[in-house]
Amino acid sequence: MNIAFFNQIDFGKLIQKNYLFEATPTSDGLYKYLAIIFVVFILVGFTLIIKAKNIDKIYKNLYTKVINLSLFTGFLGLFLLFFRYEEISYIGSRFIFFVSMAAMVIWAITIIWYRFMILPKKIKEYEKKKNFEKYLP
């Protein structure tokens, strides 16, 4: 990948109050790459919908959580990028975008927590119940 791409990103601006809270920021920059990322989120969501039809019921809840996260993140990101492109005040601001992406990261962390802390217990219960029901008439 080209180094010039990474030179365009200035993380120091994110801590500047007037940069982060600007009501109508310009729509030029690296936003076309973000649009590609959000479209990939949407495609992943639809792919998981198709794949989830043939999955064991114990994993359906996890797949549903991941599908909801990916589709919501993709559509919300494209929605916010549209308002940014149209330079609509406050809705297209960097702060709203930053807060929504932080919420998506927290949502992803809760899904990861579910996957590694709660789901293994449910799988053990499910296998125990399945094994018990195997011997019932």
Say whether pLDDT at 14 is over 70.
Answer: no
* Average pLDDT score, the chain: 85
In a domain, 58, yes or no: yes
pLDDT at 120: 94
- Asked whether 69 and 95 are in contact (CB, 8 A), the reply is no
In the block, tokens 């990261």 appear at: 105
In a domain, 7, yes or no: no
Handedness of CA 36, 37, 42, 47 (dihedral sign): positive
pLDDT at 33: 84
pLDDT at 134: 83
In a domain, 105, yes or no: yes
In a domain, 15, yes or no: no
Q: What is the number of structural domains in the chain?
A: 1
pLDDT at 72: 96
pLDDT at 77: 92
- pLDDT > 70: percent of the chain: 81
pLDDT at 130: 87
Domain that holds residue 109: 25-134
In a domain, 51, yes or no: yes
pLDDT tens digit string along 49-105?
A: 999 888 888 899 999 999 999 999 999 999 988 888 887 877 777 788 888 989 999
In a domain, 97, yes or no: yes
pLDDT at 22: 74
**pLDDT (average), residues 36-55:** 93
127-to-30, 118, 133, 137 alpha-carbon distances in Å: 48, 15, 10, 18
Q: In terms of Cα–Cα distance, which of 80, 102, 77 is closest to 91?
A: 80
Say whether pLDDT at 119 is over 60.
Answer: yes
In a domain, 8, yes or no: no
Say whether pLDDT at 4 is over 70.
Answer: no
In a domain, 5, yes or no: no
